[in-house]
Amino acid sequence: MKLSDMMQAVTDYSKQFEDKLTAWQGDAEAWAKDAQAQAKAWQDDAEARLQQADRQFADYLASATETAKAEWGKVDAVLTDQMAQLQSKSAEMRQSIASYEASLRAEAAEAYAAAMSKFAVTAQNEAEKAVSFAAESSGKSDT
């Protein structure tokens, strides 16, 4: 083989290698562009999903807040009703205690009056005995 043929073969090979290298660089640039586009698409998708999740969470919080307010309203109504019932029962108990106390006082007054009446009858009987005794003693001393 001649030197010129060998030089031509090396030049041809070098040219083929350069063409392949240029093609590979083009493929690599295209792949890099595709990868960047794919990454951008994934980033946009992730941002969209995050925004959607944020809106859903905000909606959930709003709904939960309204539900909590409604439920608290129900609880408040029940507690208010129970408090009113408790106050009513308390008033009834106070009235019942006052009536019972008045009844006990009336019974005590009746017992006191009965005791005083018995005492008065006993005192009257004793006074009559004393008058009778005094009359007898005075009649005996005259004789």
The model's confidence at residue 143, banded by pLDDT at 50, 70 and 90, is low
Helix (H, G, I), strand (E, B) or coil at 2: coil
Mean pLDDT of 33-53: 95
pLDDT at 83: 96
Which regions of 31-133 does DSSP assign to beta strands (E)? Answer: none
pTM of full prediction above 0.85: no
Please give the Cα distance from 123 to 110 (Å, whole number): 19
121: exposed, middle or buried (C-beta count within 10 Å: 0-12, 13-18, 19+)? exposed
C-alpha pair distances (Å), 83 with each of 59, 102, 127: 35, 28, 64
pLDDT at 8: 87
Query: Using alpha carbons only, how large is the chain's radius of gyration in Å?
Result: 59
Is the pLDDT confidence value at 97 over 90? yes
Mean pLDDT of 71-84: 94
